Structure 1
Amino acid sequence: MWRLSGGLGILALLAAGLAGAGAAHADDPAVTLSASPAELKLYPQYPGNPDSADVKVNADNPGADIVGDVTFTYDFTGLDGVAIAEIDSGGGSSQCRSAAGIATCVHDGLRSGKDLADSIHVTSIPGAEEGATGTVRVIARADGVTFNELTVEVTLDARADLGVSPLEYIGEPRRTQPGDTIEKNLGFANWGNTTADGLLLEVDATGGLDFTTRYSNCEYGTASQPVRAGEKEKVTVSKAICAFDLTFEPRTYYTVAEKLRFGVSERAMWDRLHVHVAENTDAAREEARGGGDFVRGLGPELTLTKLPDTSETQEQADTWTGTDAEAQFTAVNTADLVAHAGEATGRVGDTVTATVGFTNRGPAWIGHHGYAAGATRFTVPEGARVVRKPASCTGLDSSGRKAEPQLGAPVYTCVSSPYVNVGEKVSFGFGLKIDKVVKDASGPVVVTTGSAVDGAESFDRKQTNNTAEFVLTGKPGTGSGGSTTTGGNSPSGQGDRGNLADTGAGGLGTLGGLSLLAIGLGGVAWVAARWRRARS
Structure 2
Amino acid sequence: MPFSSPGPRAVRQTAGAFGAVALIALCAAPAVAADGPATGLALGTIAPFDKVKPGSELPLSPTFTNTGTAALDKVWLSYSVTRGLAQTAVPSNCLSYTVGSADEEPGHAQLVCEFDQPVQTGVVYAPERPLTLKALDRALYEHVQVTVDSSAPVPDDGAAAPVHGTAAALKLVERPDEKTPPAGAASSADVAVNVVNTADFQVGGAQLKGKVGDTVTLRVKFANAGPAWVLPQPGQRAAHVLVTLPEGTSAVRTDTLCTNTGAESYACGTGTPWVNEHESRTYTFKVKLDKAVPGARGYVELGSEARPFDHVKKNDTARITLAVSGVTDTTGGGSTGDGGSKGGGDSTGGTGSTTSTGGTGTGTDGGTTTTGGTTGTTSGTGTTGDLTTGGSDSTGGNLAATGAGPALPLAGAAAVAVVVGAGVVVAARRRGGRED
| TM-score, normalised with respect to structure 1 | 0.50
Contact 2:300 2:318 in 1 (8 A): yes
What is the identity, as a one-letter code, of the residue corresponding to 2:298?
A: G
2: CA distance, partners of 1:418 / 1:170 = 23
1: CA distance, partners of 2:44 / 2:38 = 20
Corresponding residue of 1:499? 364
1:186-223 deviation line (CA, Å, top 9, x unaligned): 11222334554522222122122121222221222321
C-alpha deviation, 1:492, in angstroms: 3.8
Corresponding residue of 1:461? 311
Contact 1:197 1:247 in 2 (8 A): yes
Corresponding residue of 2:165? 297
1:164 paired with 2:32, answer no
1: CA distance, partners of 2:143 / 2:294 = 50
C-alpha deviation, 1:337, in angstroms: 2.4
Identity of aligned residues (%): 27
The structure 1 residue matched to 2:238, chosen from 350, 360, 373, is: 373
1:70-107 deviation line (CA, Å, top 9, x unaligned): xxxxxxxxxxxxxxxxxxxxxxxxxxxxxxxxxxxxxx
Q: How do 1:221-370 and structure 2 match up within 5 A? A: 221-224=97-100, 232-281=103-152, 284=153, 286-287=154-155, 291-307=159-175, 315-318=179-182, 321-341=185-205, 352-370=216-234
Higher relative contact order (CA 8 A, sep 6+): 2
CA distance 1:413–1:167, change in 2 (3 Å): same
Which stretch of the first structure deviates more once superposed, 418-427 or 367-376?
367-376
2: CA distance, partners of 1:202 / 1:518 = 44
C-alpha deviation, 1:447, in angstroms: 3.6
What is the identity, as a one-letter code, of the residue corresponding to 1:180?
A: S
C-alpha deviation, 1:426, in angstroms: 3.1
Contact 2:42 2:185 in 1 (8 A): yes
The structure 2 residue matched to 1:208, chosen from 70, 75, 84, is: 84
1:220-258 deviation line (CA, Å, top 9, x unaligned): 2321357xxxxx412121221212112334444311212
* Contiguous gaps of at least 5 residues in structure 1: 1-157, 227-231, 396-405, 453-457, 477-484, 507-515, 528-536
1: CA distance, partners of 2:98 / 2:62 = 22
Which secondary structure does the structure 2 equivalent of 1:235 belong to? coil
1:304-354 deviation line (CA, Å, top 9, x unaligned): 11345xxx76x5222683221111132221112232346667775565553
1:434-488 deviation line (CA, Å, top 9, x unaligned): 3235689763323478334xxxxx3223345444444667689xxxxxxxx9635
Corresponding residue of 1:28? none
CA distance 1:517–1:178, change in 2 (3 Å): farther
CA distance 1:394–1:486, change in 2 (3 Å): same
Corresponding residue of 1:436? 291
1:487-512 deviation line (CA, Å, top 9, x unaligned): 354534464664357x9999xxxxxx
CA distance 1:298–1:496, change in 2 (3 Å): closer
**Aligned-pair Cα RMSD in Å:** 4.1
1: CA distance, partners of 2:220 / 2:86 = 34
Contact 2:302 2:317 in 1 (8 A): yes
1:356-410 deviation line (CA, Å, top 9, x unaligned): 2311121111112254433433231333113555686565xxxxxxxxxx3533x
Corresponding residue of 1:177? 53
1:262-289 deviation line (CA, Å, top 9, x unaligned): 22221111111111222343xx2x3358
1: CA distance, partners of 2:422 / 2:127 = 37
Corresponding residue of 1:94? none
2: CA distance, partners of 1:490 / 1:471 = 23
| TM-score, normalised with respect to structure 2 | 0.60
* Contiguous gaps of at least 5 residues in structure 2: 1-36, 327-349, 371-412, 424-436
Contact 2:146 2:188 in 1 (8 A): yes
Which secondary structure does the structure 1 equivalent of 2:126 belong to? strand
Contact 1:357 1:426 in 2 (8 A): yes
2: CA distance, partners of 1:373 / 1:167 = 27
What is the identity, as a one-letter code, of the residue corresponding to 1:379?
A: T
Corresponding residue of 2:250? 385
2: CA distance, partners of 1:441 / 1:379 = 11
1:142-175 deviation line (CA, Å, top 9, x unaligned): xxxxxxxxxxxxxxxx97533322322333xxx1
1:420 paired with 2:275, answer yes
What is the identity, as a one-letter code, of the residue corresponding to 2:164?
A: R
Corresponding residue of 2:62? 186
Which secondary structure does the structure 1 equivalent of 2:155 belong to? helix
What is the identity, as a one-letter code, of the residue corresponding to 1:268?
A: A
Which secondary structure does the structure 1 equivalent of 2:107 belong to? strand
Q: Whose strand fraction is larger, Structure 1's or Structure 2's?
A: 1
CA distance 1:233–1:487, change in 2 (3 Å): farther
Which secondary structure does the structure 1 equivalent of 2:118 belong to? strand
Which secondary structure does the structure 2 equivalent of 1:462 belong to? coil
Contact 1:449 1:459 in 2 (8 A): no
